[in-house]
Amino acid sequence: MIEIPSKVEGLQFDLYKLEQKLKPIGYSIGGNWDYDHGAFDYKISEDSGYQYLRLPFKAIDGQLDARGCTVELGRPFLLSHEYEENIDEQGQSGVFSGTFNQFQEPTDKDANFPNQYIDVGKALVQELEDLLL
């Protein structure tokens, strides 16, 4: 994980309106959210796993699944998830569990971030600042 200090840290937005600004430029709300916190993810690459810019946020007024929720942005950071490239050798997923667990867990949720994408991440943070400030 590589943190990128930004002027967006601490800014507050209506979550719905923020999502309307970020979705068109490639961000999605990551699957790792709860009622009081979450993150927007921008997939940078699929080189040896997945490289993301993550923009964390926390609810300061309401819950994330409610209308009118206000969120405060945290410090953006770069992260890399490595996935096993082969099929499930252990045969651990059955038909029933496959219905619910469709996606493989990363083998390393905090893998080394490739150097060639660090400048891309910094440019994405600059784009965020230009859009949100």
CA distance 21 to 55: 13
The reported pTM is: 0.78
How is 37-100 classified by DSSP, letter by letter?
A: EEEEEEEEE-TTSEEEEEEEEEEEES-TTSTT-EEEE---EEEEEE---S--TT----HHHHHH
CA distance 109 to 117: 17
Between helix 15-22 and helix 118-132 the angle, nearest 10°, is: 130
For the CA atoms of 72, 75, 79, 81, the dihedral, rounded to the nearest 10 degrees, stands at -20
Please report the pLDDT score of residue 96 as a whole number.
45
Tokens of 22: 């970020």
Q: How many Cβ atoms from other residues are within 10 Å of residue 131's Cβ?
A: 12
Please report the pLDDT score of residue 92 as a whole number.
53
**Whether the Cβ atoms of residue 22 and residue 30 lie closer than 8 Å to each other:** no
For the chain (133 residues), the mean pLDDT of every run of 10, in chain order, is 96 96 94 88 87 96 90 96 57 46 48 84 98 97
